[in-house]
Structure 1
Amino acid sequence: MADEMALLVADVYELAGLLRRSGEAIAAREGQTQARWQFLSVISGDALTVPQAARRLGVTRQAVQRVANELVDDGLAELVANPDHRTSPLVSLTDDGRGVLARINKRAAVENTRLAQAAGVEAVRSARRAVRRLTAALQG
């Protein structure tokens, strides 16, 4: 049993690396990086502070601040007043940022469909169930 789990962990790390490279390639077609894509996605629903976005993404505040600054400089995001904290502005998408995010997501949907078809939709569903159970076991 332990050997199977160790092999699964190795497979998951390998898959994660391949998915990161694929994500970088998808984002690059719009002149972005995967980190910028992830940040655009996390602020696409509601404007967030940099610390809030960092917590959601599971990365450091400093890394998110750097990406936020780049996106603001490029006109894809903007800083807006935060009524709850005057020294920690909210970061929001601009119309250009929404357009870039939509184009990246559209490219990603095509790739996700290809991958799901290659593995088989039921296999993907089964894998998701297993991953959710393992996640719950690790959290509990």
Structure 2
Amino acid sequence: MPDEIALLVADVFEAAGLLRRSGEAIAATEGQTQARWQLLSAVSESAQTVAQSARRLGVTRQGVQRVANDLVAEGLAAFRPNPDHRGSPLLALTADGHRVLDGITTRADEVHRTLAADIPPGEIAGARTALRRLIEQVRRHGAGDRQSGTGIRQSGAGDRQSGADGRAQGA
């Protein structure tokens, strides 16, 4: 069974790489990158601080800050005052940001339909179930703890990098 887990992990990494490249291509249809797509999606339903977005996406605050600054400079997002913390403004989409995100999401939906066309829905659901169980096992056994010595990084609850609508970013 450990060999099967190792093979599954290798498959997940391979799929992640392919999906990341596909996601970059999808985002490029609207002149964006996958990182920008992820942040647009993360703040699409409610404004968030950069730190909140970083936790949700499972990436560094500094990386999100750079992407947020790019989105603001491009007019796709804006920083708004945060009533809870003056030093941490809220990032919110502008009307143009919503338009760009809608365009990317529409293209992603088309790609997802194409990818799923030859895979029975039950198999997709079964794969998701198995993957979610593996994720929970990794979390339960502390495989992200520095003390465990496993070298496996464990992110927070938002590490699936799904958008506000629950869909994974990428193809």
TM-score scaled to structure 1, two decimals?
0.98
Aligned-pair distance for 1:42? 0.2
Cα distance in 2 for partners of 1:87, 1:44 equals 22
Report the count of equivalent residues: 140
State the Cα distance separating 1:119 from its structure 2 match.
2.3
Residue type of the partner of 2:13?
Y
Higher relative contact order (CA 8 A, sep 6+): 2
Corresponding residue number in structure 1 for 2:109:
109
Return the letter of the residue paired with 2:26: I
1:15 lines up with 2:15 in the alignment: yes
Unaligned runs of 5+ in 2: 141-171
Counterparts of 2:139 and 2:116, CA distance in 1:
27
Separation in structure 2 between the aligned mates of residue 35 and residue 130 of structure 1, nearest angstrom: 27
Which structure dedicates a bigger proportion of its chain to helix? 1
Q: CA deviation at 1:137?
A: 1.1
- TM-aligned CA deviation for residue 139 of structure 1: 1.6
The answer as to 2:138 corresponding to 1:138 is yes
Structure 2 partner of 1:66: 66
Counterpart residue identity of residue 135, structure 2: T
* Counterpart mapping for 1:1-140 below 5 A: 1-140=1-140
Segments ≥4 residues shifted beyond 2 Å: none
Q: Which amino acid aligns with 2:61?
A: R
Quick one: distance in 2 between partners of 1:120 and 1:53?
34
Q: Secondary structure at the match of 1:38?
A: helix
Secondary structure of the 1:32 match is coil
| Percent of paired sites with the same residue | 61
Match of 2:147 in 1: none
Q: Structure 1 stretches of 5 or more lacking a match?
A: none
TM-score (norm: length of structure 2): 0.80
Between the aligned partners of 2:55 and 2:122, the Cα distance in structure 1 is: 32
